[in-house]
Amino acid sequence: MAQAIYIGARKGSILALTWDRVNWQTGMIDFQEPDKPITAKRRSIVLMTKSLRAELEAARALAIGDYVVHWHGKPVPTGLRWSFSKACTRAGLTWRPTPHHLKHSVASWFAMDRVLIDQAAD
């Protein structure tokens, strides 16, 4: 979950991310899948923050497959509804957000920090 809040990408982009698109030398994460065409919902290249890098390094140490987010080494095919709901319960939330709320939260934080809309979209 921490990765999603640091990245601010769509759920599908995060679930499809493989380790070969995480460039440790440049600190960049490329969410564009090599075999998928670029659409209006383009997938971006994101610079790792120190906090995100620490989260990814910890995840990489435990990884048993090609996917950054996985279940027993296999990609998570459809979503995170059950695990996200459990995390919300453990956090003591009184309302039920969805994983997409994380993306909107990041966009709101960018707006509050007066980040230009073109930069925030990337």
CA-based angle 17:29:61, to the nearest 5? 70
Report whether pLDDT(98) > 90. no
Q: How far apart, in Å, are the Cα atoms of 81 and each of 61, 68, 76, 91?
A: 25, 17, 11, 15
Count of CB atoms situated within 10 Å of the CB of 48: 20
- Statement: 2-121 belongs to CATH 3.30.590.20: no
Sorted by where each begins, the domain ranges of the chain are: 2-121
Residue carrying structure tokens 């453990």: 90
pLDDT digits (tens, 9 = 90+) for 73-92: 888 877 677 777 888 888 89
Distance CA 54, CA 57 (A): 5
The verdict on pTM exceeding 0.85 is no
- The encoded tokens of residue 8 equal 């601010």
pLDDT digits (tens, 9 = 90+) for 26-77: 999 998 888 877 776 667 788 888 988 999 999 999 999 999 988 888 888 7
